[in-house]
Amino acid sequence: MAEALPAPEAGTDTAPASGALPFRRRLRARRSALVAAVVVALLALVALAAPLLAAVEGQDPNAFHAELVDSATGGVPLGSFGGISADHWLGVEPLTGRDLFARVVYGARVSLGVALAATLVQVAIGVTLGMAAGLGNRLVDQVISRTTDIVVALPVMVTALGALAVVPAGFPRPVLIAGMVGLVGWAHLSKVVRAQTLALRRTDHVSAARLSGWSGTRIARRELLPGLAAPVITYAVLLFPGNIVMEAALSFLGVGIKPPTPSWGQMLSDADTWYQAAPTYLLVPALLLFVTVLALTVLGEGVRNALDPRVASRLRVGTGTGKEAGA
């Protein structure tokens, strides 16, 4: 889980001092963040264009090809490197002969889509409850804060496993996983938003709005949300790779995405018995997961430091020149 962003000191103006142009300039100065952004953009493009890419290859992700596997050895793909050929760019699955490239690109849609939906759920719940706790009276703050503490203390993986195991099999699994991961992962963001809201409510512009008789909803929408944009965006970008890993872990444990729907985690779950006979089947989704999580983490760090250059980078990648620090 991403670490909590430091709350600004009381009495200080927390609105970002820099606009979009300085932010873009600082982000461009971090070449690692730009490379990560390009990788993320390519992965998103692959996910969106999965049907087109599969059509270009000429394969269906769910079509079985029994002639491409050796039944005498239990279903090991025929040919070198898992059956890679001009017709099957990444080879085929063991036992079924389904095209691995087509399943990988369709799996990107599921894995990235579930992680994105879960992140949006987390942001919606975390921002709403965090602002309500920061703006509400003592009772509201206590109730929300204690509820948040309980959710933080819950073991996320065990909670998600228990909930997913009792849901009927007919319920759409991508929707279910996105909702469950979002419902158990909003608490840390809520704490960040509450701390920022408590600091923002002491600023002059928020005090003037309260004295003018504005409602809490209007103050939140007009005065607080702009000041919360930077930490919320930063935290959301850092949550995204964790949600990808969570979906992969749940699918690997057998309670996530169910066949024949492809996902990278579900492919890893199937590959655990084939890693010696057909290592490509394991390496391809594992490498994609690694690259995706790494790129999103580096991009999140770049966005974090570009939005708030006072926060030191945890990764120390692509930063550090005196010229950048002064940007």
The CA–CA distances, whole Å, from 72 to 67, 77, 95, 262 equal 12, 11, 11, 26
Quick one: pLDDT band at residue 126, thresholds 50, 70, 90? Answer: very high
Helix (H) or strand (E) holding 69: strand 69-70
pLDDT (0 to 100) of residue 19? 56
Q: Which residue has the higher pLDDT, 147 or 220?
A: 147
The CA–CA distances, whole Å, from 51 to 38, 43, 139, 265, 293 equal 21, 14, 52, 20, 24
Quick one: pLDDT band at residue 310, thresholds 50, 70, 90? Answer: low
Residue 299 confidence (pLDDT) above 80: yes
Quick one: pLDDT band at residue 1, thresholds 50, 70, 90? Answer: very low
Residue 245 confidence (pLDDT) above 50: yes
For residue range 161-177, what is the model confidence (pLDDT) as tens digits?
887 778 887 788 889 89
pLDDT (0 to 100) of residue 106? 94
Q: Is 70 helix (H, G, I), strand (E, B) or coil?
A: strand
Q: Across the chain, what does the average pLDDT equal?
A: 83
Quick one: pLDDT band at residue 21, thresholds 50, 70, 90? Answer: low
Planar angle of CA 102, 107, 111, nearest 5 degrees: 165
pLDDT (0 to 100) of residue 318? 46
pLDDT (0 to 100) of residue 321? 47
